[in-house]
Structure 1
Amino acid sequence: MSLYFAYVMVGLAIAMPVGAITVEMTKQGLKNGFMHGWAVGLGGMTIDLTLIFLLSMGLASILALPVIQIPMWLIGAAFLLYLGYDSIKNANQGITLSGEKATKSFFSSYKNGLLVAVSPGNLVFWVNVFGVVLAKNYSNDSSQFTIVALGIITGILLHDLGLLTIVSISRKAMSRKMINWLTIAAGILLFGFAGYFIYEFVMSLTKYL
């Protein structure tokens, strides 16, 4: 159990830094409530679980190839540019204040979570950082690998629940105008992450050409 709790803390540490998935969760949580922010988190966790399984099957060596990794930066930038543009363009639309019924579908928020989570930042992180940790534990003992993977996912889950609880409580005191401006800010942050991905794409291209 000590191994499990150790990796729960690791999962929390992974999720703590503000990333594109955190921005999208917060945005949807503010605009449409806890369940929609949670849908984004579920989309991200779907990709995380899939990656853990695929990494255990040897995907890490494939994703580490420059011919695979380099285009992923550009694809990820395109996803984030789209989400950022949509966030700013529709900042004043689809806002439901506390007590109102959301007009946006749960699946739509889940899909946004999937799009953000398949970005290279997430994929490269799992491959370069936890690919090594998970592979090491898998080679030693497959049951130990399962405990490590479950611990990481639990930590991410606890972070998501904590974040969305804070967002839901804060949302009750916010006006429509405040949520509108915060949504625009979220879109600008997503543009920033897209810019970083484009920078990584150019640097990677320069390195291998």
Structure 2
Amino acid sequence: MKDWVTFIHFIVLGLSLAAPIGPMNIEVMRRGLTGGFLASWCVGLGGLTGDVLLLLGIYFGLGDVMRISGVQIGMYVIGIVLLTILGWQSFHHAFQTKDRQDIVFKEISPKSAYMTGFMISIANPISLIFWFGVFGTSLHVLTASHSVVFSVLCSFAILLGLFLWNLNLVCTIHFSKRLMSVKVMRTIMILAGLCLLGFACHFSYRLYNLIL
């Protein structure tokens, strides 16, 4: 019974990581509005793939590597550039749309959406702090009191939590956008662009403090 509680705890931990508004959730929503279900889903899958790689990195002891200043600077730079581009694209698309068809049926390559989600995941300092901080500590405590097999299962429980949140968000956007007017969808696109650029500015500030 105690093991089941621990397993559920890690599912909730995965949900708590995925639920807060951040670059990943904003991009999933934006792609859901502009590219449809598949594009939004691929962004989420790309992000989940990045999370799997980060999780494997913890198992193989890459936490010390991620604490190197040069590595952190590189991740911040990639994250800033990526979020700035995505924010600009959101603004550009919002002001270029003339009717609902322009917003809803814009074709987006699934591969492009997948790679965007992947890059946001591995270049997001917030995710890195969680994986190598909070989860790294939880995993250390878990392996000290449970078997390796159970520790691996709990790691998959976190990924399950991430997957469930992504599925919930993608489906919500897919079905709710049919009820949105063009004005509402354009407003969401503009707000998404502002949020993405806001995260880019926040990362720039943290990069500035890191360099100094």
Q: TM-score, normalised by structure 1?
A: 0.88
Identity %: 30
* Structure with more helix by fraction: 2
* 2:92 equivalent to 1:86: no
Which residue pairs with 1:69 in the alignment? 72
Distance 1:62 1:31, change over 3 A: same
Deviations 1:139-180 (A, max 9, x none): 653212211211111111111111122212210112334323
Q: TM-score, normalised by structure 2?
A: 0.87
Range moving further from structure 2, 136-145 or 12-21:
136-145
- Measured in 2, the distance between the counterparts of 1:19 and 1:52 equals 19
Match of 1:13 in 2: 16
Instruction: Report the Cα offset of residue 205 of structure 1.
Output: 1.9
Cα 1:191–1:102 shift into 2, 3 Å: closer
Q: Distance in 1 between matches of 2:121 and 2:100?
A: 25
Q: Which residue of 192, 195, 202 maps to 2:198? A: 192
Q: Which residue of 2 aligns with 1:176?
A: 182
Distance 1:138 1:60, change over 3 A: farther
Q: What is the CA RMSD across the aligned residues, in angstroms?
A: 2.2
Kept in 2: contact 1:32–1:96 (CA 8 A): no
* Corresponding letter in the other structure for 1:56: Y
SS in structure 2 of the partner of residue 33 of structure 1: helix
For 1:201 and 1:34, the matched residues in 2 are separated by 34
Task: Tell me by how many angstroms 1:101 deviates.
Answer: 5.5
Aligned partners of 1:101 and 1:88: how far apart in 2?
A: 17
Aligned to 1:25: 28
**SS, match of residue 22 in structure 1:** helix
One-letter amino acid of the structure 2 residue matched with residue 129 of structure 1: V
Question: What is the number of equivalent residue pairs in this alignment?
Answer: 204
